[in-house]
Amino acid sequence: MGINIKGKVAIVTGASRGIGEGIARVFASEGAKVICASRSLTGDGEKVTDSIKDQGGHAENYKADIRLEEDCNKLVEHVLKKYGRIDIICHNAGIYPDYPIEEMPLETWDDTINTNLRSCFLLTKPCIPVMRKQKSGRILFTSSITGPNVAQATLAAYSASKGGINGFIKAASLELAKDGITVNAVSPGNIATESVKALYGEEGAKEVARVIPAGELGDTDDIGYAMVFLASDQAKFITGQALVVDGGQILPEDPNSFFRN
């Protein structure tokens, strides 16, 4: 039996662009019924779901601000009422404002933590009773190598939020393991999204690719297929882990060492 998530009901947040869009597209291509949660019912999110449906996949665009407890609860209620179950939640929504610590407004720090980390708790909490009743479930997060593995100046809030996610999955996995629920994350390296290109610029992105052993930025599909594996029945004995998908970026002790071979 091949690895797949055919027929599974999956919620993906932040699915209107970037890595979230890639995850949603891969999930749908592997047969999942995908509920794409974003802050608007129009715009990029609608384009993504329409495109998935045009390609024969099942996708629904749902408006939710995952920083708000009420919206997270309503999202879970909607999916349960319409589909009767929730097999996978993939919390991907995130922001990474670029500020030196001394110049960062408190509002920016709070918004980053609320969007990236607090929302993990807000979305996970109402899904737990559903998955416990089912005796199965996959709770997934998009973490990052930035924070848990490496650091970058001017991304302190983002780094803190992603480090927090990795701590959250460990504690949550211990609480839920006996209920057939796994809790894991994928930690992307530098993925070729519009946001990453905007952060580094065209030339900067080329320099980043130069120090990745694989020699290039990753694709959003690379993260999507890692998520598919962790969401599958075949990954039932994996929990509390963060799978690094970075083309080997964090491996070299000396960033230039692999050029010597």
User: Has residue 260 been placed in a domain?
Assistant: no
Q: What's the pLDDT score for residue 254? A: 72
Q: What's the pLDDT score for residue 259? A: 54
User: Could you tell me how far CA 129 lies from the centroid of its own chain?
Assistant: 22
User: Has residue 256 been placed in a domain?
Assistant: no
Q: What's the pLDDT score for residue 234? A: 96
Q: What's the pLDDT score for residue 202? A: 80
User: Has residue 2 been placed in a domain?
Assistant: no
User: Has residue 254 been placed in a domain?
Assistant: no
Q: How many CB atoms lie within 10 A of CB 233?
A: 13
Q: What's the pLDDT score for residue 102? A: 97
Phi, psi of 186 (to 5 degrees): -110, 130
What string of pLDDT tens digits covers the 261 residues of the chain?
Answer: 578 899 999 999 999 999 999 999 999 999 999 999 998 777 888 999 999 999 999 999 999 999 999 999 999 999 999 999 999 999 999 999 999 999 999 999 999 999 999 999 999 999 999 999 999 999 999 999 999 999 989 999 999 999 999 999 999 999 999 999 999 999 999 999 887 777 788 888 888 898 899 999 999 999 999 999 999 999 999 999 999 999 999 998 776 665 544
Q: What's the pLDDT score for residue 242? A: 98
Q: What's the pLDDT score for residue 31? A: 97
CATH of the domain at 156: 3.40.50.720
User: Has residue 107 been placed in a domain?
Assistant: yes
156 contacts: CB under 8 Å, gap ≥ 6:
99, 101, 104
The total domain count for the chain is 1
Q: Is 225 a catalytic residue?
A: no
User: Has residue 229 been placed in a domain?
Assistant: yes
Query: Quick one: which of 129, 5, 16 has its CA closest to 65?
Result: 16
User: Has residue 58 been placed in a domain?
Assistant: yes
Q: What angle do CA 27, 6, 92 make, to 5 degrees?
A: 25
Marked catalytic residue, from 62, 96, 158, 225: 158
Domain that holds residue 199: 9-249
Q: What angle do CA 67, 73, 74 make, to 5 degrees?
A: 105
User: Has residue 258 been placed in a domain?
Assistant: no
Q: What's the pLDDT score for residue 196? A: 77
Q: What's the pLDDT score for residue 257? A: 61
